[in-house]
Structure 1
Amino acid sequence: MSASLSSALSIFVTGTDTEIGKTFASCALLHGFARAGLRAAAMKPLAAGAFERDGVWHNEDADALDAAANAPLPPELRTPFLLKAPAAPHIVAAHEGVALDIEQIVACHREAIRRADIVVVEGVGGFRVPLTDTRDTADLAVALGLPVVLVVGVRLGCINHALLTAQAIAQRGLTLVGWIANVVDPDMRFIDENIDTLRGWLMREHGAPLIGTVPWLTPASPERAAERLDVSSLLLALRTARASTSQHSLHPDQD
C-alpha cells in the first residue's frame, strides 16, 4: 500500500538551512495535530549526531519528536539511519560504513502511516543535502511523494533562501502546501516586513500560504508555538490534496 492510498495523512518538513528550527516547528505541528484529535507520529529518517545513554544510542532531535508525538514510533521506524558524528550525512555514512538507502526509508514510512492518523517526516538540514554521491534529500521527498512544509528561519538572507528552496521543491514536482516563519534572530531588523514579503511571493508563485509565525520564545516551547500555527487550514489542504490524488488515481484518463 502506497502512502497516497493510505487513509493517513503525511507531510515532509524541510528547511531553508540547518539550525533554523525545523525540529522545533515539527514538534509544534505534532502538538497541533494531537490537539485536533489525531494520532500524530513523527519520523526523523536520517539523523547525524548521536549520544549513548544506558547502552542505547539517541539523537536529540529524534527524542524531541518522540516527546511531541502522541503516537510515537519504534526507533527502527522513526529513525532507520542514526549516524554518530554530527556532520554532513553522506560523509559520516561513508566513514561509518553505512549505506543510506532511500527505499528502506520509504518502507519504514509505509509502515508508519499504518500506525497513525498523520505522520510528520522531518528531513535533514536543507532541501538538497546529499545522501550519497548521486542522491539527496530532495530525492527522498520525491520517493515519499509527500506534500512539503517549508520552515523558514527568519534571519538576514531568509528571503533568498526561502525562494530558492521553494523553487527547488516545485522543480521536483512536489507541492509546497505551506510554510512556517520561525524567528531565529530576535534582533533582526524589519522582521514583519520580511515575513510579509515572503507571504506575497510564496503565495503568488507557489500558492503556499503562511501556516503561522513563531516568534522568539524564551524558553522555547513547541506547545506554545503550536498555538501560533493554523493547523486546521493545513489539515484541510492536506485532505483536499489527498482527495484530489485519489480521484485522479481512479480516473487517470480525465487529463
Structure 2
Amino acid sequence: MKEFFITGTDTDAGKTHVTSLLLKLLAQHKKNAIGFKPLASGCDMAFEQLVNSDALTLMESASVSAKYDVVNPFAFAPAIAPHIAAEQAGVTITLDKLNSAYNVVKQQGADYILTEGAGGWALPINNADYLYDWVKAQQLPVILVVGMKLGCINHALLTAAHMQSLGVNCVGWIANQVDPHMDEYQANLDSLKARLPYPILAISPYSEQTPKLQIYKTLLENFALNT
C-alpha cells in the first residue's frame, strides 16, 4: 500500500483540486485509490449529517468507494479553524482518534491512500498537537501543493524549512496556478524550482474547462506508475 499526505502552502492553495487530479490519475492507471479528509470545517447538512464539499470531491474522484464518515470522520459546520470548531462542538480531536480513523480507511481495500490536510501545514488539532505530528508519527510521505499567487515563494520556503526541521519526508511539490493573472508567473515558478529543496512533481495550469496535470517523471516514480 502506498500512502501520501497532501498539504498546502496556505488555505485555498488547491489541495482538494490537486488531490482529486491525483486520484483520477491513479484511476487511469487502473489503481485502487481512496481519498481521506480527516478534518473539515465549513460543512453543510445533507442526508442528516454534516458533509464537506472537498470530501465529496475526493469521494467522486476515488476508485475505491467508502462511506462518508470513513472519508471525513471529523466534520464541523463553522468555516473556521478545525480545532476551534471542534472545541465549540464539544469534540476533542486527538492523535489516537486520527490513528483509529486512518486504520478504518486502510481496511477499505485500496492500494493507494491520499490524505488531504486542512488549511496549511501548521494546523492545530487541539491545544497541544498539530496535524503534522500525526503525519510524522505515521511516517507519511508528503506532497506540498504550492498555490501560485503573490507571496507563494515565502509560504513555500517557510513550509519546506519547517518540514526539514521535523525530518518529514516531503517527496516533492506541485505548482497549482490559482491566479490566472499572476504577474511573472513563470519567473515565480522558476524561482521555486531553484529554491525549494524538493523536486517538482507536476504543474496544474489554471483552466476554466477540464483541469489537467502536467506530470513530471518524479511523480510517476513516487506513485510507482509505468511511464
TM range, smaller chain? over 0.9
The range that moved more, 72-81 or 172-181, is 72-81
The equivalent of 2:132 in structure 1 is 138
CA drift of 1:108 comes to 2.4
CA drift of 1:235 comes to 4.4
Q: Which residue of 96, 100, 117 maps to 1:103? A: 96
Q: Distance in 1 between matches of 2:105 and 2:51?
A: 19
Q: Secondary structure at the match of 1:225?
A: coil
TM-score (norm 2): 0.92
5+ residue gaps in structure 2? none
The equivalent of 1:28 in structure 2 is 21
5+ residue gaps in structure 1? 1-7, 240-255
Tell me the percent identity: 35
Q: Distance in 2 between matches of 1:9 and 1:31?
A: 16
Q: Secondary structure at the match of 1:17?
A: coil
**Do 1:42 and 1:73's aligned partners in 2 also have CA atoms closer than 8 Å?**
no
The equivalent of 1:211 in structure 2 is 201
Q: Does 1:128 pair with 2:118? A: no
Q: What letter corresponds to residue 171 of structure 2 in structure 1?
A: V
TM-score (norm 1): 0.83
Q: Which residue of 191, 202, 212 maps to 1:225? A: 212
The equivalent of 2:12 in structure 1 is 19
Q: Aligned ranges for residues 154-233 of structure 1 at < 5 Å?
A: 154-202=148-196, 206=197, 208-219=198-209, 221=210, 224-226=211-213, 228-230=214-216, 233=218
CA drift of 1:70 comes to 0.8
Per-residue Cα deviation, 1:143-199 (whole angstroms, up to 9, x for no partner): 221010000000011001001001111111111101110011111111011111111
Q: Distance in 2 between matches of 1:72 and 1:21?
A: 23
**Do 2:142 and 2:172's aligned partners in 1 also have CA atoms closer than 8 Å?**
yes
Per-residue Cα deviation, 1:107-142 (whole angstroms, up to 9, x for no partner): 222332342010000001000011111111211211
Larger Rg, first or second structure (1 or 2): 1
The equivalent of 1:147 in structure 2 is 141
CA drift of 1:225 comes to 2.0
Q: What letter corresponds to residue 225 of structure 1 in structure 2?
A: K
Q: Secondary structure at the match of 2:140?
A: coil
Q: Does 1:57 pair with 2:50? A: yes
Aligned Cα RMSD in Å?
Answer: 1.5
